[in-house]
Amino acid sequence: MSIHARTVTGPTHDSPLTTHDSPLTTHNSRLTILKLTLLGTGTSQGVPVIGCGCRVCSSTDSRDKRLRSSALITVGHLNILIDAGPDFRQQMLRAGVRHLDAILLTHEHNDHVIGLDDIRPFNFRSGQPMRVFALPRVAAEVRKRFEYIFGRPIPGLPRIELIDIEPDSRVQMDGLSIQPVGVQHGKLPILGYRIGDLTYLTDVKSVLPAEMHKITGTKHLITSALHHDYHPTHMNLNEALAFVETLTPEYAWFTHISHQMGRAEEMGTQIKPGIALAYDGLEIDF
């Protein structure tokens, strides 16, 4: 299996960054069917929140049970994870994931990286280190937070190969091309990802104009919508709806949802057609 990252400077004649091309390169027909599974759609606290008895946290609706945000890309035999937060083990078991080929990190906050220690069973099965793609700043933070992993090799510890990427990198995996997208988590630059006709953005407050061309033409959009009120580092519901209206995808789902958003059943009647709150376990074929 070939997995690597290369850097591109912008749209070229054969670049999939134009609106006429799709950011998916296939060298094998099995890669034409892609699936994204939302393993978690909650905020850093998850839903229900510890000690909270609100209507959402006490709901019996499975759509109101939200693990920390993460997603799994499945393409033929490939399984590629976006973010490994504190619910990583539970998410892998619940989804029945038996092998994992790589992890893409959006940023260094604990709810997106602190589950990396639990990659060990995948290391043991494959005999190989897990390839983890991240911004250089994020990779440096992973090395600091998990210093014990990168020291003298000790049997039983996780094995990680950190690979630096930038917004203008391109991650290639067996003919699948993944385009990082630079977005702003408040003032913090982080990454989203576009795969084929799907764009996955979490913890996003804004997308810089220079990056918008990468997600123009997206048919399936997953983006964060925290709750109804203003927040300095996350889009609220109205901001997310305006963002969707700008991109005009065929379908849009909101993720990274707080218990303050409201119950999934009630919110389903308040959002425009073609737009919905995502939920844990949602599978999107694209």
* pTM as predicted: 0.90
DSSP symbol at 65? -
- Structure confidence by residue, pLDDT tens digits, 162-203: 999 999 999 999 889 999 999 999 999 999 999 999 999 999
First to last CA, the chain: 23
- pLDDT tens track of the chain, all 286 residues? 544 454 433 333 233 322 223 334 333 344 467 999 999 999 999 999 999 999 999 999 999 999 999 999 999 999 999 999 999 999 999 999 999 999 999 999 999 999 999 999 999 999 999 999 999 999 999 999 999 999 888 889 999 999 999 999 999 998 899 999 999 999 999 999 999 999 999 999 999 999 999 999 999 999 999 999 999 999 999 999 999 999 999 999 999 999 999 999 999 888 989 999 999 999 999 9
C-alpha–C-alpha distance, residues 121 and 25, integer Å: 30
Q: What is the dihedral of CA 131, 178, 214, 9, to 10 degrees?
A: 70
pLDDT of the residue at 20: 28
Give the side-chain half-sphere CA count within 13 A for 70: 32
Residue 179 contacts residue 189 (beta carbons within 8 Å): no
Distance of CA 87 to the CA centre of its chain: 14
Half-sphere exposure of 223 (CA within 13 A, CB side): 34
Please state, for a pLDDT cut of 90, what percent of the chain lies above it: 84
Q: Which domains does the chain have, with CATH numbers?
A: 33-274 (3.60.15.10)
Rg of the Cα atoms in the chain:
18
User: pLDDT tens digit string along 83-97?
Assistant: 999 999 999 999 999
What are the Cα distances from residue 135, in Å, to 2, 37, 47, 90, 190?
A: 20, 23, 28, 26, 8
Cα(143)–Cα(59) distance, rounded to whole angstroms?
A: 39
